[in-house]
């Protein structure tokens, strides 16, 4: 590995983590109930704790920050994997319908179990990602079936099929949500917008098992570099293309589904983060994947901070804030790819 690229990679990682820490600090100290740095330090270190400070830090803000960081990291990594597997810089879990498939399953879970399993209980919280995974796998399977041409995955068809599947699943999601009782419908609408408003430590614990996929992804990251070669070159190097594609896509679908289950559909993270990562650290996926995760973490934390402070006393969901940034960026990428 080139020493210059290695040094650049760690410089970007450390700088990104510092930016994420700065965003977390702003979210922790600012809001309807402002806290000073000293108040936060005393609360975290348990020096003369005050009940109101404990409530704000440990029940409202800290789980929201931790969950936002985990979700952003997972979505950023999933986006870089999907773009690497499909060799398409416009591929994204949201655009390809993976978010919509996972979202449909989670809304279906809310609708079916609303009377018997509380979404706030441990059983409900732990089951939601499994429902999300089933929906994500269903969306990915449908994409594979319709986007293949002569046994090969066509990048152009992939985008068109993904948009169609996302639209269809989105329509079904709205239909099912309209059948809910008023309180569940309100919760589903807020969740569908991509919100961290209901974040709690149970959601954080739910995300942690899925992060065990990260070592698997990082150890196989070099294979994504080989995916950028032609099919004949891949075979000559002894790469089992279909098997590796399935492993990577299942890992990315698992990360996306777990994220959607706890935060709703936050689009464009998987599109923006890999592009920024490639500009920062080059084209090696062993560098792109973790940097994409850090960039995704920063975007979600900053977006959530903007949504809950700039529009106060109202609160704008982080998914909406990110979409406001992501839509023009997607159009820019689309124009650049055509030129």
Q: Mind spelling out the 3-state secondary structure of the chain?
A: CCHHHHHHHHHHHHHHHHHHHHHHHHHHHCCCCCCCHHHHHHHHHCCCCCHHHHHHHHHHHHHHHHHHHHHHHHHHHHHHHHHHHHCCCCCCCCCCCHHHHHHHHHHHHHHHCCCCCCCCCHHHHHHHHHHHHHHHHHHHHHHHHHHEECCEECHHHHHHHHHHHHHHHHHHHHHHHHCCCHHHHHHHHHHHCCCCCCCCHHHHHHHHHHHHHHHHHHHCHHHHHHHCCCHHHHHHCCCCHHHHHHHHHHHHHHHHHHHHHHHCCCCCHHHHHHHHHHHHHCCCHHHHHHHHHHHHHHHHHHHHHHHHHCCCCCCCCHHHHHHHHHHHHHHHHHHHHHC
Q: Contact 152/85 with Cβ under 8 angstroms?
A: no
What contacts 46, CB < 8 A, 6 or more positions away? Answer: none
Q: Contact 235/227 with Cβ under 8 angstroms?
A: no
pLDDT value, residue 139: 86
| Of 9 and 335, the one with more pLDDT | 9
Q: Whole-angstrom Cα distance, residue 108 to residue 260?
A: 13
pLDDT value, residue 60: 87
Percent of the chain exceeding pLDDT 70 equals 90
Residue 62's pLDDT band (cuts 50, 70, 90):
very high
pLDDT value, residue 282: 87
Q: How many CB atoms sit inside 10 A of residue 119's CB?
A: 19
Q: What is the pLDDT of residues 265-308, one digit of tens each?
A: 898 899 999 999 999 998 899 999 999 999 999 999 999 999 98
Q: Whole-angstrom Cα distance, residue 338 to residue 266?
A: 26
CB under 8 A, 24+ apart: contacts of 152-157: 152/231, 153/86, 153/245, 155/86, 155/87, 155/88, 155/91
Across residues 68-86, what is the average pLDDT?
93
pLDDT value, residue 300: 96
pLDDT value, residue 24: 93
Sign (positive or negative) of CA dihedral 275, 277, 281, 286: negative
pLDDT value, residue 269: 93
Of the candidates 331, 327, 322, 332, which has an alpha carbon nearest to the alpha carbon of residue 76?
322
What contacts 213, CB < 8 A, 6 or more positions away? Answer: 251, 254, 255
Across residues 178-192, what is the average pLDDT?
81
84-93, 99-108, 117-126: which has the minimum mean pLDDT? 117-126
The domain locations on the chain are 75-86+94-203+210-338
Residue 117's pLDDT band (cuts 50, 70, 90):
very low
2-11, 70-79, 123-132, 187-196: which has the minimum mean pLDDT? 123-132
pLDDT value at 230 more than 70: no
Residue 124's pLDDT band (cuts 50, 70, 90):
low
pTM score, whole prediction: 0.90
**Does domain 75-86+94-203+210-338 match CATH 3.40.50.10540?**
no
Across residues 155-159, what is the average pLDDT?
73
110-124, 217-231, 308-322: which has the minimum mean pLDDT? 110-124
| Of 186 and 28, the one with more pLDDT | 28
pLDDT value at 114 more than 80: no
Q: Whole-angstrom Cα distance, residue 137 to residue 92?
A: 15
Q: Contact 77/255 with Cβ under 8 angstroms?
A: yes
**Structure tokens belonging to residue 273:** 């983060």
Q: What residue has token string 């919509």?
A: 100
Q: What angle do CA 5, 322, 160 make, to 5 degrees?
A: 85
Mean pLDDT across the chain, nearest whole number?
Answer: 84
pLDDT value, residue 330: 78
Q: What is the pLDDT of residues 9-33, one digit of tens each?
A: 999 999 999 999 999 999 988 877 7
Q: Whole-angstrom Cα distance, residue 295 to residue 79?
A: 11
Terminal Cα-to-Cα distance of the chain (whole angstroms): 33
pLDDT value, residue 131: 82
pLDDT value at 70 more than 90: yes
pLDDT value, residue 110: 83
């Amino acid at each position: 590995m080139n020493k210059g690229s290695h040094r650049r990679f760690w410089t970007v990682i450390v700088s990104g983590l510092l930016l994420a820490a700065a965003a977390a600090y702003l979210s922790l100290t600012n809001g309807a109930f402002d806290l000073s740095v000293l108040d936060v330090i005393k609360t975290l270190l348990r020096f003369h704790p005050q009940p109101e400070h404990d409530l704000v830090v440990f029940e409202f803000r800290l789980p929201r920050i931790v969950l936002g960081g985990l979700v952003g990291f997972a979505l950023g990594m999933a986006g870089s994997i999907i773009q690497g597997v499909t060799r398409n810089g416009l591929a994204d879990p949201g655009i390809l319908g993976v978010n919509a498939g996972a979202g449909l399953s989670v809304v279906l879970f809310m609708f079916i179990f609303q009377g018997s399993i509380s979404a706030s209980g441990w059983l409900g919280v732990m089951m939601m990602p499994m429902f999300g995974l089933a929906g994500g796998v269903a969306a990915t399977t449908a994409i594979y079936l319709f986007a293949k041409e002569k046994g090969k995955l066509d990048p152009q068809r992939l985008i068109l099929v993904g948009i169609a599947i996302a639209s269809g699943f989105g329509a079904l999601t709205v239909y099912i949500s309209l059948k809910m009782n008023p309180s569940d419908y309100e919760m589903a609408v807020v969740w569908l917008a991509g919100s961290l408003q209901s974040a709690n430590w149970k959601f954080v614990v739910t995300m942690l098992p899925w992060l065990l996929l990260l070592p698997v992804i990082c150890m196989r990251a070099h294979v994504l570099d080989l995916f950028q070669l032609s099919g004949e070159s891949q075979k000559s190097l002894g790469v089992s293309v279909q098997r590796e594609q399935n492993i990577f896509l299942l890992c990315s679908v698992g990360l996306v589904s777990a994220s959607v289950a706890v935060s709703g559909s936050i689009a464009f993270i998987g599109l923006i983060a890999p592009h920024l990562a490639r500009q920062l650290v080059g084209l090696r996926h062993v560098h792109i994947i973790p940097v994409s995760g850090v960039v995704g973490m920063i975007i979600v934390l900053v977006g959530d901070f903007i949504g809950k402070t700039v529009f106060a006393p109202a609160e704008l969901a982080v998914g909406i804030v990110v979409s406001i940034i992501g839509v023009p960026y997607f159009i820019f990428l689309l124009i650049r790819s055509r030129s």
